[in-house]
């Protein structure tokens, strides 16, 4: 079997790849380069020149070749590698007529615990979102910002005391509303400085958060380690990094308890398996990062099924627009105007907080025919929040 074509497929706000073989098997993958999808598509086109006429089943060799052939990397390049790697695993599963997790060593679990995205621009909206998730059967919620999901067009200002105390009090109110049967995965979106994060963690500790995610910018591993070693709430991070060496350096510093592997940007299924092995050696669990489409979800679930040190899977709402649009838009857009589920043949079914595994060979999902025509691609806009004094605010 040989690869005869590799094609970048932009659709709506997502970037897919299709890898075609001479035996008629087609693999699908997704790039997680977020705002740099156009650049990632060009990287896919570059890798195409290498992959034509190659055996698609030599996945590790192709991963190493693409990973090491350039002197520079970055999110766009790693998103391309990830998308192609997922597609190659999809081909392998279809070739052997088994789900990908069977090729990764088999299942460690029969169903995948998930956390559901919640949000709100007011305290009342956020609490209501968490309560509705519990009523829908979920036992964990995530993307839960104690600082609220205010539009990026709204200038920001709060005093230090108000920022810390009101955010901590929101966590208290949510805990009282949903009880201890629901885990709270707090998303801090790198908006704090180390001292602020330490103070906030001590404030919310009585309400037993599952973890604090990205309390500070992830660029400085020492800062993340400083926080993790001074608080009693587990730290989750890693979604914005994309090499196994970066994860090793964080784990070696005891800087995280939960490893946020972005399957569509950290090297695909191959890269995620490598990172999971490093995490296992450090006693850490993986929480696959997944703000993308059902293709990403399907790939994440293959790894979640096969990896022993898996904790919980992020699950966005696939019945609406993309998570990145929901949380970065400046407008009050109609969040149901577009359904991701219309782009694919499968979306996960969730029962009592656990998602059922895809049953079909490969990663278990296909794009609908002519997806790029039915859902025209739209470039993501640059949009970040400003402080009331005009400076940049991380959110």
pLDDT tens, the chain, 395 aa long: 999 999 999 999 999 999 999 999 999 999 998 779 999 999 999 999 999 999 999 999 999 999 999 888 899 999 999 999 999 999 999 999 999 999 999 999 999 999 999 999 999 999 999 999 999 999 999 999 999 988 888 999 999 999 999 999 999 999 999 999 999 999 999 999 999 999 999 999 999 999 999 999 988 999 999 999 999 999 999 999 999 999 999 999 999 999 999 999 999 999 999 999 999 999 999 999 999 999 999 999 999 999 999 999 999 999 877 776 766 655 554 555 678 999 999 999 999 999 999 999 999 999 999 999 999 998 888 888 899 999 999 88
Does domain 103-360 fall into CATH 3.20.20.120?
yes
Nearest alpha carbon to residue 30 among 20, 15, 42, 44: 15
pLDDT for residue 218 = 87
With 0-12 / 13-18 / 19 or more C-beta atoms within 10 angstroms meaning exposed / middle / buried, residue 180 is exposed
pLDDT for the residue numbered 138: 97
CATH superfamily of 3-99: Enolase-like, N-terminal domain (3.30.390.10)
Read off the DSSP letter of residue 382.
P
The residue annotated as part of the active site, out of 143, 242, 289, 318, is: 289
Q: Are 353 and 91 in contact (CB under 8 A)?
A: no
24 is written with which tokens? 């008629």
Domain boundaries in the chain?
A: 3-99, 103-360
CA distance 53 to 13: 30
pLDDT of residue 328: 62
**Phi, psi of 9, deg, nearest 5:** -125, 90
Q: Output the six-digit token pair for 341.
A: 């589920």
242 is catalytic: no
CA distances from 4 to 45, 264, 282, 354 (A): 13, 23, 41, 38
> What are the beta bridge partners of residue 192?
none
- Closest alpha carbon to 109 in 306, 351, 347: 306
């Amino acid at each position: 079997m040989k690869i005869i074509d590799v094609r970048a497929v932009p659709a709506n706000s997502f970037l897919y790849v299709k890898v075609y073989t001479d035996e008629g098997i087609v693999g699908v993958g997704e790039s997680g380069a977020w705002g740099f999808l156009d650049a990632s598509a060009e990287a896919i086109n570059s890798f195409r020149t290498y992959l034509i006429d190659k055996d698609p089943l030599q996945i590790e060799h192709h991963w190493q070749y693409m990973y090491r052939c350039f002197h520079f990397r970055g999110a766009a390049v790693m998103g391309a590698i990830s998308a192609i790697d997922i597609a190659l695993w999809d081909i392998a599963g279809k070739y052997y007529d088994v789900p990908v997790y069977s090729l990764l060593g088999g299942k460690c679990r029969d169903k995948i615990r998930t956390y559901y995205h919640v949000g709100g621009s007011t305290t009342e909206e956020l609490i209501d979102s968490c309560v509705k998730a519990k009523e829908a059967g979920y036992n964990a919620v995530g993307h839960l910002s104690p600082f609220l999901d205010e539009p990026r067009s709204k200038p920001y200002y709060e005093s230090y005391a108000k920022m810390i105390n009101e955010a901590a009090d929101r966590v208290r109110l949510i805990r009282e509303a949903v009880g201890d049967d629901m885990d709270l995965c707090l998303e801090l979106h790198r908006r704090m400085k180390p001292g602020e994060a330490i103070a906030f963690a001590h404030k919310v500790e009585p309400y037993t958060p599952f973890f604090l995610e990205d309390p500070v910018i992830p660029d400085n591993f020492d800062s993340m380690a400083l926080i993790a070693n001074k608080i009693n709430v587990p730290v989750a991070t890693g979604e914005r990094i994309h090499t196994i060496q970066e994860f090793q350096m964080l784990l070696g510093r005891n800087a995280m308890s939960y490893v946020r592997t972005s399957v569509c940007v950290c090297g695909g299924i191959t890269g995620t398996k490598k990172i999971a092995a490093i995490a296992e050696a450090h006693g850490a669990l993986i929480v696959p990062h997944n703000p993308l489409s059902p293709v990403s979800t399907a790939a994440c679930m293959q790894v979640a099924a096969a990896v022993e040190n898996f904790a919980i899977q992020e699950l966005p709402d696939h019945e609406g627009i993309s998570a990145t649009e929901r949380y970065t838009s400046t407008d009050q857009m109609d969040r149901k105007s577009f359904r991701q589920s219309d782009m694919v043949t499968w979306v996960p079914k969730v029962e009592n907080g656990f998602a059922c595994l895809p049953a079909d060979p490969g990663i278990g999902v296909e794009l609908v025919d002519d997806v790029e025509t039915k859902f025209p691609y739209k470039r993501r806009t640059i949009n970040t929040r400003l402080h009331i004094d005009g400076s940049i605010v991380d959110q």
